[in-house]
Amino acid sequence: MSSKNVTRRKGPWPSNNNLHSVRDWFRQRGGLDDSRESESVIRLILDKVSGISVMDRVITHWRASESELERLASLADRLQKGEPVQYALGETSFAGLTFQCDRRALIPRPETEELLTEALRRVRRCDGLSSHRVMDIGTGSGVLSIAWKIQRPDDDVHALDVELEALELAKINAEGLDCFVNFFRSDIFQVQQSNGIFYEPFDVIISNPPYIPNSDRFDMHSTVTEWEPSTALFVEDDNPLSFYRQIIHGCENEEWLAKGGLLALECHRNLTDQVLDLVPKTWTSKERMKDLQGNWRMVFARR
């Protein structure tokens, strides 16, 4: 294509294409402040666009090319409109892996990675290297199920979600990471539909279901409420434990979880004690855990 046919983005442009000028220009154009979070965003984007690390940019006296400035301008404009950086870049990191990331599914959070790490630790401690049947309920972009399968390749890993678009993204991520996970579209509240998936008990069920009460949305940042799928985030104020109640009911009354199997749940920081109360007293163990920020965030139980 002739360069005459290429529409260049409008200015303003940096006064110089050196690292310092480009950083300041990008911050201003993207509507970013001087916070640590904004610095992290800028570093992440410069890493991606330049293809080299922050140290290499300093050592080599990196200067942005015209094509790099064009891409940076596009990304800055998207951030200025409130789009999360992970969606703007089209990818995110989870458990040391790179996943495609867009509006079809939630952006993975650090506490979800903590849930995975702790669940894996508990399985290794109690069951060693024996293979397991694993189910990820509400898989979204597939990060939990795919990361589990990569760390424990002999496990038979399954994952379900009610949203077709999210499952399409999860399958793309599995293929991109050369990882086989059995994905299913199912609504866990439709028991008859779910029975075909839970034909045999699982040794591990892990889930990060929707758990944020609708009333909390007014206190949340617009990058979350206006960009990420609300069905994966919010639940009704008068029934915030609906997903946990259904999952635990399925584990106990419909044999979704094998005897001695592990249930691992991510929860709202204010509701872990209530989730814990849903676990039958006949189970061999149940406890809640804090995340690295000191918030009660996880519930683990053995049937």
Same domain, yes or no, for 147 and 49? no
Same domain, yes or no, for 270 and 238? yes
Is 121 strand, coil or helix?
helix
**Considering the domain boundaries, does residue 185 fall inside one?**
yes
The CATH number given to whatever domain includes residue 254 is 3.40.50.150
pLDDT digits (tens, 9 = 90+) for 47-58: 999 999 999 999
> Based on the number of CB atoms within 10 Å of its own CB, is 204 exposed (0-12), middle (13-18) or buried (19 or more)?
buried
Asked whether the whole model's pTM tops 0.85, one would answer: yes
- In contact, 170 and 139? CB cutoff 8 Å: yes
> Can you give the pLDDT at residue 194?
59
> Can you give the pLDDT at residue 195?
62
What value, to the nearest 5°, has the Cα angle with vertex 217 and ends 165 and 93? Answer: 50
**Considering the domain boundaries, does residue 286 fall inside one?**
yes
Same domain, yes or no, for 273 and 179? yes
Q: In angstroms, rounded to a whole number, what is the distance separating the alpha carbons of residues 112 and 114?
A: 5
| β 202-207/257-266 pair status | parallel
> Can you give the pLDDT at residue 11?
80
Q: Which of 179, 182, 180, 147 is CA-nearest to residue 161? A: 182
The total domain count for the chain is 2
Same domain, yes or no, for 125 and 31? no
> Can you give the pLDDT at residue 192?
62
Query: Per residue in 154-181, is it b (16+ CB within 10 Å) or e — as a string?
Result: ebbbbbbbbbeebbbbbebbbeebebeb
> Can you give the pLDDT at residue 28?
95
Average pLDDT, consecutive stretches of 10 residues, N- to C-terminus, the chain (303 residues): 52 91 96 93 96 95 95 96 96 97 96 98 87 97 98 97 97 97 94 73 97 91 91 92 97 95 97 97 96 96 97
Is 277 strand, coil or helix?
helix
What does the CA dihedral 30, 31, 36, 37 come to, rounded to 10 degrees?
-70
**Domain containing residue 213:** 105-302
Per DSSP, the residues of 43-88 read HHHHHHHHSS-HHHHHHTT-B--HHHHHHHHHHHHHHHTT--HHHH
pLDDT digits (tens, 9 = 90+) for 262-272: 999 999 999 99
